[in-house]
Structure 1
């Protein structure tokens, strides 16, 4: 297996390619603990679909696949596949709560427009990848 690992920061280190907010980490650690999966992490990925072209996806995953970027940030293991990484580079996973409930979201500096629901996005000049996902806002 060839995984790229970014260790937990010690002292002054470069910013990881993907991060998680403090509140997001608290929520993720609770979910990971309840999952019952040893060595599990949060897989963050992109799939085609949604009303803006790409859709975010997240899942609890205890597998480290060939080519995965593995980042340990704030005690949470984040896994990103090599196809999703260019669109997620520099992003922060967060957890937001509002009157409609709560859930994970991605603050993505690569997104040039977002769907009104916040689950899909577009980048300038980029076409949606072929593969999973289709449909409108809110489909996951």
Structure 2
């Protein structure tokens, strides 16, 4: 399993999926940009390319991940935290060596470049 989804995150994702078409899958990955070079991408997708995507079911959630992102996000845990200001997903990526102060971007062991200031 490439990533893990906690029970709290699963409940939140299931609630969000109720408003999505039946073929919806959670797509998790990374994209270029942000203060530290990479940022996480988390959303729903309805089309899968078996050559480019890893398709899995994690904690009851159908998940799609671009195969090229696997080395950067392997062993990542997606959680959902609730607090007085609301709630949000938190991502714990053991491959992130630098994280931005704003918490929305990171640099992984296998990526190059110098982070810009947030």
User: Which stretch shifts more, 26-35 or 66-75?
Assistant: 66-75
Alignment length (residue pairs): 115
Q: Which runs of 5+ in 1 are unaligned?
A: 1-15, 129-134
1:32 aligns with 2:20: no
Deviations 1:35-54 (A, max 9, x none): 2x122111001011111111
**How far off its partner does 1:82 sit?**
1.6
- TM-score, scaled relative to structure 1: 0.73
Which of 66, 78, 90 lines up with 1:105 in the alignment?
90
How far apart, in 2, do the equivalents of 1:32 and 1:116 lie?
30
Q: Which residue of 2 aligns with 1:73?
A: 58
How far apart, in 1, do the equivalents of 2:70 and 2:63 lie?
12
Q: Which residue of 2 aligns with 1:64?
A: 48
**How far off its partner does 1:99 sit?**
3.5
> Which segments of structure 1 move beyond 6 Å, counting only runs of 4 or more?
none
Q: Which runs of 5+ in 2 are unaligned?
A: none
1:1-140 equivalence runs, <5 A? 16-35=1-20, 37-65=21-49, 66-124=51-109, 126-127=111-112
Deviations 1:58-111 (A, max 9, x none): 111121123211121111011100221111111111112234322222211100
Q: Is 2:72–2:110's contact at 8 Å kept on the other side of the alignment? A: no
How far apart, in 2, do the equivalents of 1:136 and 1:22 lie?
34
Q: Is 2:98–2:106's contact at 8 Å kept on the other side of the alignment? A: yes
**How far off its partner does 1:136 sit?**
7.6
How far apart, in 2, do the equivalents of 1:45 and 1:17 lie?
11
- TM-score, scaled relative to structure 2: 0.86
Quick check: which one's strand share is greater? 2
